[in-house]
Amino acid sequence: MAKKLVISSPEFIEGGTIPKKYTADGESVNPPLTIDGVPEGTQYMALIMDDPDAPKRVFTHWLLWDIEPAASISEDTSPGVSGMNSAGNTGYTPPDPPSGNHRYFFRIYALDIGLNLRTGAPRDALEAAMRGHVLAEGVMMARYGRVAEHA
């Protein structure tokens, strides 16, 4: 069983609201993230951000791997190789819920190897490549939603 990483953000708390700046209603930049508990032997890290409340399926907002082991990921950066998200792009796709209040999960993984994946690889390829190589993992959930506008 993998050890536990602690992922957090100086901009919002676990279960809290993602500030508008980091959404499609704001600057559309990724939030800063802090990672605690990176174990000895970590070669690289990977990150998956998704929204399980999307209308048709889980919407993957951000895939990133081959991140050098570090205690943080800075705002508006992409410190690794980017995968294909559910919007059909690489890089960070900000929260942009069509309605309601959605949950966004930031999942961080400490890996014992680098991943031999091309830029733009899909989530299933990332998950398959990580299998058997996760030393530690952590998850943080935050929310974002819009108040319905009245005509």
In tens, the pLDDT along 128-149 reads 999 999 999 999 999 999 865 4
Nearest to 98 by CA among 145, 51, 28, 50: 145
> Coil, helix or strand for 20?
helix
The pTM score is 0.94
Coil, helix or strand for 119?
coil
For 10-64, what is each residue's pLDDT tens digit?
A: 999 999 999 999 999 999 999 999 999 999 999 999 999 999 999 999 999 999 9
Q: Can you name the CATH fold of 3-145?
A: Phosphatidylethanolamine-binding Protein (3.90.280)
DSSP string, 76-107: T---SEE-B-TTS-BS------SSSEEEEEEE
Residue with tokens 């705002």: 75
